[in-house]
Amino acid sequence: MGDTGQFSIENGIGIIMIDSPPVNALGHAVRQALAAGFDGFAADDAVRAIVVLCAGRTFFAGADITEFGKPFAQPDFDALFSRIDASAKPVVAALHGTALGGGFELALACHYRVAVASARVGLPEVHLGLLPGAGGTQRLPRIVGADSALDLMTSGRAIPAAQAHALGLIDAIVAEGELRAGAIAFAQDLVAAGKPLVCARDREDKLAADRQRPDLFDTFRQKNARAFRGFRAPESIVCAVEAAVTLPFEEGLARERTLFEALMASTESAAQRHMFFAEREASKIPDIPKSVPTLPIASVGVIGAGTMGGGIAMCFLNIGIPVTLVELRQEALDRGIAVIRRNYEGSAKKGRMTAEQVEQRMALLTPALSLDALARADLVIEAVFESMAVKQDIFGTLDRLCKPGAILASNTSFLDLNTIAAATTRPEWVVGMHFFSPANVMRLLEVVRGAHTAADVVATAMELGRRIGKVSVLAGVCHGFIANRLMEPYMKRGDLLAMAGPSPAEIDKALFDYGFAMGPFQMVDLVGLDVIGRDNAERTLSGDLVALGRLGQKSGGGFYDYDENRRAVPSPVAAQVIAELGRAKDIAPAGPLTADAIVARLLYPVVNAGARILEEGIALRASDIDVAAILGYNWPVYTGGPMFWADTIGLETLVEGLRTMGIEPAPLLVRTAQAGGRLSAL
């Protein structure tokens, strides 16, 4: 067993203590240790009850995801749980940290559960494109009823111990820091009082009520259709809970297993597991080891109180870091502050924070009209409009007035960070921190490393991203960095295709069905045609529409017209503009296209851009590009992002498709296709 499991007996209570860092995942060695513990204590007459607990930062965080893809070596989860079922002695799970997935399922199979108040429990398998496959879909509804079970398993949400206690998932909360003693005392009380062995599998009370509600599942499906669109796991979870309600336990378990195996073999789950590891991998920078110390950031300055600057300020206020927000004019400053307050008050109205928390955050915000107010800031983030001259001017000023050791960051989305840094005498302190709109919501942060940016400045920006709840991805300097450069062809190809025949509505529907929240034309209409097509020198569809006063939804029409309910309807004017520019540019008609062909026309070029970003070293690894697309552009996560998706399409197909469109495939793409390799593994 090595050091994985330690067994001891205290006052008649057998204690199984598992220690398998970092998160006590239930890998093979851990399962072996647990089985040995159960078997040993079952045979030991000195033991009257058994307590299972974990060392380190958490109770079991789930099955070991690295073991997925092949059958579980014995003892598997079934074999472990049947030992608990067969036990004549009560088994108590003692929870701290995060009891998740298979870990929480193990706890549910135990007769009793105790936890410290700071513990959280949940079944997050849905985020991996899976369902709880160790009996969770059958035991949870038997304890909390179908409604709560469906909610917890399809959201994957972890809930605090107090809430779990209220739901009956936890039998007792024990004092923080005294889990072991508390659990032993609880077990001793059970023995002394001769309490029964409570097996979730045998419980009928909650299910009896659910059986009287035949429309329960269809109502749930309808209510969540939008949120579940494109995902496979939620529907499988619903089916499994349906089985729990309608079938005997063993048959329900068999149904769960079949559904679990189908999900495990699905592309959707493979994609979501890819994303799980990709998000974690993104924080690793080969030439900047974790030992490089990060710099303390206790105060932040944000320049620009527009949508971007305001959102960025909120990110820091949310974690208690004071922010000085600078604008040129009082009016713009007032407006920016008012928007921040309105956003927080909106959250408070939805119950996401208290009125007191709104005030605490606003109290950390200092408005200012001059850059002089930033002299003492540890980090300054510039978020003004995209003009190199303006940015250089600002960085020149910051260089003169900021204290030595201050990090000077730009939120530029396209401009050359090295040119911006050249306006200072300290380019090693200059870094890009590129947020995505709305900055307080979108989870991507691109950290742009300039030619001279110091290692500890990069490390600090990456770590700070994590602290404000983002996934930081490192990018090199180029026009558009990773996410924007990646997605540039998406918009361009959409325009070209529209000029070749398919209507904006047809194209949007194909991309919506692929999994985007909306297609490219709906998106442009929402964001504003004037915002997107601004810097184009050549004639574009957006440019021509803007010339007619069609700026998008805000002006009543863009690529679509909008009826009184703000519903998009096809626009004859836009159709005419598209046809005219198509003729002027001499674009050949595409003929009828399938939805897949439309998707290929827009997304193959994105993959190609990704390959170039990778071969130029702008991104460290292919999976970083997937993270950027998914978290920065809402690329559907169940496709795994553009690079992972390309592998599922087949790289040969992709290369050929690009050539048919008259696009030169990136050499890296061609090489990888020829070698039979996988793009997402690069």
Q: Return the active site residues.
A: 105, 125
Q: Which range in 22-30, 163-171, 217-225, 628-636 contacts ligand 3H9 by CB under 6 A?
A: 22-30
Q: Which range in 8-16, 18-26, 191-199, 302-310 contacts ligand 3H9 by CB under 6 A?
A: 18-26
Q: Which range in 56-64, 209-217, 596-604, 667-675 contacts ligand 3H9 by CB under 6 A?
A: 56-64
Min. distance of Cβ 269 from ligand 3H9 in angstroms? 10
* Of the candidate residues 17, 30, 33, 63, the single one contacting ligand 3H9 (CB under 6 A): 63
* Of the candidate residues 211, 213, 223, 280, the single one contacting ligand 3H9 (CB under 6 A): 280
**Number of other residues whose CB lies within 10 A of the CB of residue 233:** 26
**Which of 37/132 has CB closer to ligand 3H9?**
132
Residue 62 engages ligand 3H9 in binding (rule: CB under 6 A): yes
**Which of 290/349 has CB closer to ligand 3H9?**
290
* Of the candidate residues 37, 129, 132, 304, the single one contacting ligand 3H9 (CB under 6 A): 132
DSSP 78-99: HHHHHHHHH-SS-EEEEE-SEE
Residue 244 engages ligand 3H9 in binding (rule: CB under 6 A): no
Instruction: Tell me which residue of 89, 90, 101 sits closest to 127, measured CA to CA.
Output: 101
Min. distance of Cβ 262 from ligand 3H9 in angstroms? 13
Q: Which range in 33-41, 61-69, 294-302, 391-399 contacts ligand 3H9 by CB under 6 A?
A: 61-69
Residue 101 engages ligand 3H9 in binding (rule: CB under 6 A): yes
Element spanning 524, H or E? helix 520-527
Dihedral sign computed on CA atoms, order 597, 130, 225, 219: positive
Nearest-angstrom CA–CA distance, 578 and 409: 40
Residue 240 engages ligand 3H9 in binding (rule: CB under 6 A): no
Residue 25 engages ligand 3H9 in binding (rule: CB under 6 A): yes
Q: Which residue has the tokens 């917890």?
A: 152
Say if residues 70 and 38 touch (Cβ distance below 8 Å): no
Tokens of 99: 């009891």
Element spanning 223, H or E? helix 216-223
Radius of gyration of the chain (CA): 28
Say if residues 154 and 221 touch (Cβ distance below 8 Å): no
Phi and psi at 7, nearest 5°, equal -120, 135
Tokens of 670: 């061609």
Say if residues 459 and 292 touch (Cβ distance below 8 Å): yes
| Binding flags for ligand 3H9, 553-592, as an x/- string (CB under 6 A) | ----------------------------------------
Say if residues 476 and 616 touch (Cβ distance below 8 Å): yes
Element spanning 433, H or E? strand 430-435
Q: Which range in 17-25, 343-351, 443-451, 490-498 contacts ligand 3H9 by CB under 6 A?
A: 17-25
**Which of 136/234 has CB closer to ligand 3H9?**
136
Residue 105 engages ligand 3H9 in binding (rule: CB under 6 A): yes
Residue 98 engages ligand 3H9 in binding (rule: CB under 6 A): yes
Helix (H, G, I), strand (E, B), or coil: what is residue 551?
Answer: coil
Nearest-angstrom CA–CA distance, 645 and 48: 54
Instruction: Tell me which residue of 245, 255, 58, 263 sits closest to 140, measured CA to CA.
Output: 245
Min. distance of Cβ 189 from ligand 3H9 in angstroms? 30
Nearest-angstrom CA–CA distance, 552 and 624: 32
Residue 128 engages ligand 3H9 in binding (rule: CB under 6 A): yes
For 329, residues 6+ apart whose C-beta sits below 8 A from its C-beta are 369
Min. distance of Cβ 61 from ligand 3H9 in angstroms? 4
Residue 29 engages ligand 3H9 in binding (rule: CB under 6 A): no
Residue 404 engages ligand 3H9 in binding (rule: CB under 6 A): no
Residue 133 engages ligand 3H9 in binding (rule: CB under 6 A): yes
Phi and psi at 616, nearest 5°, equal -85, -5
Q: Which range in 125-133, 205-213, 423-431, 585-593 contacts ligand 3H9 by CB under 6 A?
A: 125-133
Q: Which residues bind ligand 3H9 (CB under 6 A)?
A: 22-23, 25, 58, 61-66, 77, 98, 100-102, 105, 124-125, 128, 130, 132-134, 136, 280
